[in-house]
C-alpha cells in the first residue's frame, strides 16, 4: 500500500488506563457522496474521553453507556469528541464545503477525532474556522464552550446582572462558563483550587473561592445561578438551596442518575430549579463561539499541548480530574 494512503489513529480495543490507547496505522478513508474528508490538525483529550476509555461513568448510567458504547469492549475504538483541520476531499454531492476549508467539528457520541484523517457527514455539527482562530483554539471551543453555552443560556437562562457561581471554574467547561458568564453580563464567582485562581480571575471572575480552604456552601452570599461542573452538589439540593436566590437555578453539568431524576421533581415543585442532563450541540452555537473567539471576546483556555505520539501522557493529565482548561493533541 502507498504510504500516503495510510493514516495514524489512536485506538483503544479495550477499556482501561491511558496505556490501552495505542497508535495504529489504518487505510485513509475516501468520502462518499455526502461526506467530507478532513486532515485533522488538532483535537482535545477531554474528560469525556477519560470517562469513556476507563468506563468511569456517573452512578446509574453504566447500563445506558454500555448500550451506546459497548459493554465488554468499546464499540467505537477511536476517542476524541472534537477535531479541527482542513478539508482534503469532498463527496460528489457536497456543496457547502470545498477542499482547503478550515473546519471544526463536534463529533457527537461516535467520537473519532484522535485520527489524522476523519470522514464527516455534511449533516454533522461542522463550522468553518474564521481567519485569526487557530486549529487548537477552534477544537478547544467545542467541548467546554458548547456545554457552558447550552447550560448558561438555554437551561439556566442566565440574565445580565445576575450572580453566577461556577464550580470547577478552571476546567474545560468551567473556564468557558466563566468567560461566557461575563459576556452575558453576570457577576461571576469561580470555585477552584488556589493554583488556578489567577487563571480564573484573568478569564473574568470577579471573585475566586479556593475550595481547599473554604466551603462555598458555608461562605456568605447567594447566587441566581450555580453551575456545578464537578458533581459537588450531586443529589444534595437540600445542602445547597440556601445558596440560591428565591428564583435561583442550579445546573448539574455532571450528575448521577438519582440526581438527574431528582432535578425534574425539584423543578416541578419549587421556585428554585435544577437542570441536569446532556446537551444537544448544534452548528449555529459553534459558529457563535467561533465568532466570539475571532472578536477576541472568548479565548479557550489551553493548558497543555501534546504531539500525537504522546497521547497517552495527555490521557494521564486528563485522568487526574484537575486539569486546567483543555488538553490539546496536535496530529
Ligand X SMILES: NC(=O)c1ccc[n+]([C@@H]2O[C@H](COP(=O)([O-])OP(=O)(O)OC[C@H]3O[C@@H](n4cnc5c(N)ncnc54)[C@H](OP(=O)(O)O)[C@@H]3O)[C@@H](O)[C@H]2O)c1
List of residues contacting ligand X (CB under 6 A): 46-48, 51, 144, 147, 167-168, 170-174, 191-193, 195-196, 211, 229-230, 232, 253-254, 278-279, 321-324
The label of the residue with cell 453539568 reads 253
Closest CB to ligand X among 116 and 139? 139
Cell numbers for 280: 444537544
Closest CB to ligand X among 81 and 94? 81
Closest CB to ligand X among 216 and 308? 216
Closest CB to ligand X among 24 and 195? 195
Cell numbers for 327: 488538553
Query: Distance between CA atoms of 207 and 177, rounded to whole angstroms?
Result: 14
CA 65 to chain centre: 17
Cross-strand bridge partners of residue 42: 84, 330
Least distance from C-beta 78 to ligand X, angstroms?
A: 19
Least distance from C-beta 152 to ligand X, angstroms?
A: 13
User: HSE (CB half, 13 Å, CA atoms) of 296?
Assistant: 1
Closest CB to ligand X among 84 and 192? 192
Least distance from C-beta 90 to ligand X, angstroms?
A: 30
Cross-strand bridge partners of residue 223: 244
Closest CB to ligand X among 122 and 254? 254
Instruction: Looking at 55-95, list the stretches that DSSP marks H as alpha helix, in order from N- to C-terminal side.
Output: 62-69
Query: Distance between CA atoms of 327 and 102, rounded to whole angstroms?
Result: 21
Least distance from C-beta 10 to ligand X, angstroms?
A: 18
Closest CB to ligand X among 65 and 89? 65
CB atoms closer than 10 angstroms to residue 144: 29
Least distance from C-beta 203 to ligand X, angstroms?
A: 12
Least distance from C-beta 57 to ligand X, angstroms?
A: 9
First to last CA, the chain: 22
Cell numbers for 99: 477542499
* DSSP 8-state symbol, 103: E
Least distance from C-beta 114 to ligand X, angstroms?
A: 16
Q: Kindly list the distances between the CA atom of residue 167 and the CA atoms of 159, 170, 191, 310, in Å, as whole numbers in the listed order.
A: 18, 9, 5, 30
Q: Which residue is nearest to ligand X (CB)?
A: 171
Q: Kindly list the distances between the CA atom of residue 112 and the CA atoms of 45, 174, 179, 243, 271, in Å, as whole numbers in the listed order.
A: 11, 24, 28, 40, 41
Amino acid at each position: 500500500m502507498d504510504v500516503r494512503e495510510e493514516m495514524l489513529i489512536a485506538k483503544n480495543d479495550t477499556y482501561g488506563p491511558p496505556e490501552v490507547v495505542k497508535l495504529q496505522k489504518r487505510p485513509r478513508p475516501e468520502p462518499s457522496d455526502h461526506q467530507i474528508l478532513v486532515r485533522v490538525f488538532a483535537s482535545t483529550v477531554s474528560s469525556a474521553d477519560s470517562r469513556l476509555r476507563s468506563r468511569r461513568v456517573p452512578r446509574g448510567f453504566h447500563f445506558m453507556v454500555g448500550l451506546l458504547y459497548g459493554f465488554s469492549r468499546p464499540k467505537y475504538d477511536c476517542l476524541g469528541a472534537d477535531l479541527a483541520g482542513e478539508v482534503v476531499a469532498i463527496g460528489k454531492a457536497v456543496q457547502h464545503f470545498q477542499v482547503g476549508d478550515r473546519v471544526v467539528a463536534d463529533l457527537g457520541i461516535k467520537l473519532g477525532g484522535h485520527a489524522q484523517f476523519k470522514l464527516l457527514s455534511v449533516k454533522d455539527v461542522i463550522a468553518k474556522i474564521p481567519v485569526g482562530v487557530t486549529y487548537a483554539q477552534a477544537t478547544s471551543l467545542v467541548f467546554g464552550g458548547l456545554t457552558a453555552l447550552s447550560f448558561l443560556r438555554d437551561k439556566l437562562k442566565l440574565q445580565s446582572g445576575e450572580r453566577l457561581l461556577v464550580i470547577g471554574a478552571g476546567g474545560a467547561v468551567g473556564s468557558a462558563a466563566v468567560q461566557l458568564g461575563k459576556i452575558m453580563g453576570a457577576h461571576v464567582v469561580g470555585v477552584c483550587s488556589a493554583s488556578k485562581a489567577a487563571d480564573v480571575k484573568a478569564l473574568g471572575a470577579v471573585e475566586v473561592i479556593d475550595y481547599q480552604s473554604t466551603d462555598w456552601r458555608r461562605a456568605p452570599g447567594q447566587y441566581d445561578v450555580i453551575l456545578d461542573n464537578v458533581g459537588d452538589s450531586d443529589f444534595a439540593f437540600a445542602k445547597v438551596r440556601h445558596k440560591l436566590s428565591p428564583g435561583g437555578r442550579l445546573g448539574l453539568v455532571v450528575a448521577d442518575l438519582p440526581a438527574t431524576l431528582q432535578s425534574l421533581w425539584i423543578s416541578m415543585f419549587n421556585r428554585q430549579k435544577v437542570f441536569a442532563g446532556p446537551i444537544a450541540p448544534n452548528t449555529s452555537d459553534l459558529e457563535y463561539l467561533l465568532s466570539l473567539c475571532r472578536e477576541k471576546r472568548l479565548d479557550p483556555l489551553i493548558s497543555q499541548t501534546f504531539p500525537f505520539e504522546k497521547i497517552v501522557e495527555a490521557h494521564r493529565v486528563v485522568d487526574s480530574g484537575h486539569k486546567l482548561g483543555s488538553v490539546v493533541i496536535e496530529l
